[in-house]
Chain A
Amino acid sequence: MIERFSSGFHPFVLPFLAGMVFVLGYCVYGIVRILFQLTGEDRRRFFLSLITPRTALKNIRDIFCDCLLHVKLWKRNRMLGFMHSSIAFGWFMLIVLGHVEVMLFLPERIRLFYYPIFFNFFVAETDSTIQGSLLFFLMDFFLLVVLVGIALAMVKRVRSRLFGLRRTPRPSLLNRVGLYALWAIFPLRLLAESFTAHISGGSFLTIPANWVFRQFLGNDLNMLPTWWAYSIALGVFMFVLPFTRYMHIPAEMMLIPMRNAGLKIRGARKGFARVQVYSCPNCGVCIDACPMSADKANLKDCTVYLTRQMRRGNERRIAEISDKCLLCGKCEAVCQVGVEGPKLRLMNRAERNYAVKADYSGVPVTALSEAARGGKVLYYSGCMSQLVPSIGRSMESVFRKAGVDYFWMDREGGVCCGRPMMTAGRLEEAAGIVRKNTEVILGSGADTMVVSCPICYKMFTEEYSLPGVRVVHYVNHMEELLQEGRLVPTRSDLCYVYHDPCELGRGCGIYEEPRRLLGRLAGIAEAEKNRSESVCCGGSLGSLTLTFAKREKITKASLENLYASNADAIATACPLCTATFARYADRPVRDLAEIVDRQTEGKLKPAEI
């Protein structure tokens, strides 16, 4: 290999160079700004994680698997996975191999960072070495890989349904510019390298193309415009990148180490939240996943639109999208990048000021804890359970049958767990409620608290500190009673489909215990979408603005998902899901407590109870 230009420079590289400098400058500025926005502790933690071997290794592995190979996407959708990994990994390999070529043949030029990109323009082949031909083959091979990916991307743009996507977001103007520039880059590269292949050498793709071109375009002057075009396409792409969804490429590389460092979103617009917003690739997987999409009116209220509006700073829409969401967490569960849509919304809600502050000084803590004194096991049913009396009643019956020394602390109403207040973004008020409840519970002297509402359960396990009190979910408690033989099961002929409540499944990660319990008592079937992909019932308190009437379509769509199992009845473990489903369901809806009560007998004879 010899250089064709002694200067190692040609003006056509300028568009690329300018774009590259711009994008790098932008990213460095962004990273510094974000690092400054982190709290001191978060910043320390982040830097520490970068030099901790375990997390550093994990960072590299995650970036390789998620950003380049798109492993998660492969698992979810093979077509999309192939498309994304062929573009990302192929491009990555082209860059790496370009550098290898330069280092191998012209190591002194490695400092010019446009050189590996435009290597074929600057060199002329002298004698075909075995190294050269293998590298040329690999270069052509990965170019082909990328081109296949680009071709798939074009098909996807026209026929997204072929890729299993029902709805995709509409790209904005700049996104279109970025998209077309990206599409143009690789065909232009093929063209440019083909034009120069008889000088620089090539392989199975570029050599035949070169031969074809030379049949009717014998003049070497033709090569320059194509290299210019290639460089301009790259330049345009880099210039628009910070303002398009392609910003997710650099942002995700920031997101992964921050997540691995254990950072949490602390504000809606700063630090880690900002990284998440920029990491959204606008793929639109969350549109189809969002339970609100059952109603066309809500199509533009899922996470992909939240991140878009947060980038644009459209406050009216940010508030609208943040307040409408059910906070069911499904978008987060399906998100390939790990954008925490619900948390972003929650923090947006938390930025508001309320002129009327809460005052819970009227809660008679001492009287409430005095009343609860004596029982070893406290039962907390939660506010919503009072509207579904079958739950509390069944729990009492189960406790009595199993001989549990219990006290139902909110039988006649108690203090709310605080989760609804928290989902409204009023974190201080929620903390006030938590303090009151903590005092009541600790003052009661109980060592166990059984909670039957998943909303409360999530709150108690995540936001409360109750030393000496074991907080147990009622499913676990009832399973324990069965295992200890204090309850004797009898199987029902009915087949139930189990609906995973959002707060219990995605919220607390409890998927298998309810199924195990139900499986001992009755037949069990699975809904079309279940476990982490379960469809919210539509009754969630997470949504602030969805009115009763606007939730109907969501509930009915969720029921259709359950009906697909052909089960005789619906089982769930949340009073809100039960009440919401019961309004429209065409078959019985039962809480697990009710099923356990129906299908078990106590070891003690009735007279002894």
Chain B
Amino acid sequence: MMDFGFKLSKSATLDLDRADTGRYERLCALEPDARICMNCGSCSATCTAAPFSGMSLRKVILGLQRGQDVRPMLQGCMLCGKCSMVCPRGINTRHLILTLCRIYD
């Protein structure tokens, strides 16, 4: 590849070809329901921890799909279970979060 002496800023572009989605695949192997999220945002809207920590389960799942580090968001979760009550797809969100907290190493 020719070097033009400049490149797009790394953080500004999601390069799906290079994104590390290994963790997302590992999550899906344990929690197949992670795949059926339709990004409606109900979980994030209702989230008890969101106002204090920026927690958004929707963004966590999306971030994993894009190969991003989602730990800072996960740390705020209080596991109150509201997200599992409102998810229209019936995803067991609490267990998904617990699994994710365990496999993050």
Q: Quick check: do A and B touch in the complex, using CB within 8 A?
A: yes
Interface residues of A (CB under 8 A from B): 323, 352-360, 362-364, 383-384, 386-387, 413-416, 418, 420-421, 424, 426, 429, 433, 541, 544-549, 579
Kindly state whether residue B46 has any CB partner on chain A within 8 Å: yes
State whether A359 and B76 are in contact (beta carbons under 8 Å apart), knowing that A364-B52, A413-B48, A547-B90 are contacts in the complex. yes
| Least CB distance, B13 to chain A, in whole angstroms | 27
State whether A354 and B75 are in contact (beta carbons under 8 Å apart), knowing that A383-B81, A416-B48, A548-B92 are contacts in the complex. no
Partner of A548, one of B51, B53, B90, B98: B90
B53 touches A420 (CB 8 A): no
23 contacts between A and B (CB under 8 A): A354-B102, A355-B104, A356-B75, A358-B76, A362-B52, A384-B81, A384-B85, A386-B46, A387-B46, A387-B85, A387-B86, A413-B51, A414-B48, A415-B48, A416-B48, A420-B79, A421-B79, A429-B79, A545-B95, A546-B92, A547-B92, A548-B87, A549-B90
Kindly state whether residue B3 has any CB partner on chain A within 8 Å: no
B104 touches A356 (CB 8 A): yes
Kindly state whether residue B43 has any CB partner on chain A within 8 Å: no
State whether A362 and B53 are in contact (beta carbons under 8 Å apart), knowing that A354-B98, A387-B46 are contacts in the complex. yes
15 other contacts beyond A415-B52, A547-B90, with CB at 8 A cut-off? A354-B98, A354-B102, A355-B101, A355-B103, A356-B75, A358-B77, A359-B76, A362-B76, A384-B81, A387-B82, A420-B94, A421-B80, A424-B94, A547-B33, A548-B90
B79 touches A356 (CB 8 A): no
Main secondary structure of the interface of B (DSSP, over half): helix
**For residue B54, which residues in chain A have a CB less than 8 angstroms away from its CB?**
362
Partner of B82, one of A323, A364, A386: A386
Interface digits, B52-75 against A, CB 8 Å rule (1 contact, 0 not)? 111000000000000000010011
A541 touches B98 (CB 8 A): no
**For residue A383, which residues in chain B have a CB less than 8 angstroms away from its CB?**
48, 80-82
- Would you list which residues of chain B between 10 and 54 have a CB under 8 Å from chain A? 33, 46, 48-49, 51-54
| Least CB distance, B79 to chain A, in whole angstroms | 5
Pick from A323, A352, A360, A546 the residue with the most CB of B within 10 Å.
Answer: A360
Partner of A420, one of B75, B78, B100: B78
| Least CB distance, A380 to chain B, in whole angstroms | 13
Partner of A416, one of B74, B80, B86: B80
B100 touches A360 (CB 8 A): no
**For residue B77, which residues in chain A have a CB less than 8 angstroms away from its CB?**
358
Partner of B102, one of A352, A415, A420, A421: A352
A548 touches B84 (CB 8 A): yes
A424 touches B98 (CB 8 A): yes
**For residue B105, which residues in chain A have a CB less than 8 angstroms away from its CB?**
355
**For residue B94, which residues in chain A have a CB less than 8 angstroms away from its CB?**
420, 424, 541, 544
Q: Which residue of A lies closest to B103 (CB)?
A: A355
**What is the CA–CA distance of A416 and B50 in the complex, to the nearest angstrom?**
12
A426 touches B51 (CB 8 A): no
Q: Which residue of A lies closest to B33 (CB)?
A: A547
**For residue A353, which residues in chain B have a CB less than 8 angstroms away from its CB?**
102
**What is the CA–CA distance of A383 and B85 in the complex, to the nearest angstrom?**
11
B81 touches A541 (CB 8 A): yes
A416 touches B104 (CB 8 A): no
**What is the CA–CA distance of A383 and B47 in the complex, to the nearest angstrom?**
9
State whether A357 and B86 are in contact (beta carbons under 8 Å apart), knowing that A387-B46, A416-B48, A545-B92 are contacts in the complex. no
**What is the CA–CA distance of A354 and B98 in the complex, to the nearest angstrom?**
8
**What is the CA–CA distance of A549 and B87 in the complex, to the nearest angstrom?**
12
**What is the CA–CA distance of A414 and B48 in the complex, to the nearest angstrom?**
7
Q: Which residue of B lies closest to A414 (CB)?
A: B48
**What is the CA–CA distance of A355 and B101 in the complex, to the nearest angstrom?**
6
Pick from A355, A426, A579 the residue with the most CB of B within 10 Å.
Answer: A355
**What is the CA–CA distance of A355 and B69 in the complex, to the nearest angstrom?**
14
| Least CB distance, B65 to chain A, in whole angstroms | 18
Q: Which residue of A lies closest to B51 (CB)?
A: A413
Partner of A544, one of B86, B87, B98: B98
**For residue B75, which residues in chain A have a CB less than 8 angstroms away from its CB?**
356-359
**What is the CA–CA distance of A34 and B82 in the complex, to the nearest angstrom?**
41
Partner of A384, one of B49, B52, B78, B82: B82
**What is the CA–CA distance of A426 and B95 in the complex, to the nearest angstrom?**
13
**What is the CA–CA distance of A433 and B53 in the complex, to the nearest angstrom?**
13
A544 touches B95 (CB 8 A): yes
| Least CB distance, B60 to chain A, in whole angstroms | 11
**For residue A547, which residues in chain B have a CB less than 8 angstroms away from its CB?**
33, 90, 92
**What is the CA–CA distance of A433 and B100 in the complex, to the nearest angstrom?**
20
A354 touches B101 (CB 8 A): yes
**For residue B101, which residues in chain A have a CB less than 8 angstroms away from its CB?**
354-356
**What is the CA–CA distance of A421 and B79 in the complex, to the nearest angstrom?**
5
A424 touches B102 (CB 8 A): no
**What is the CA–CA distance of A257 and B46 in the complex, to the nearest angstrom?**
48
A356 touches B71 (CB 8 A): yes
Q: Which residue of A lies closest to B92 (CB)?
A: A547
**What is the CA–CA distance of A420 and B84 in the complex, to the nearest angstrom?**
12
A356 touches B100 (CB 8 A): yes
B102 touches A355 (CB 8 A): yes
| Least CB distance, A288 to chain B, in whole angstroms | 27
**What is the CA–CA distance of A357 and B53 in the complex, to the nearest angstrom?**
14
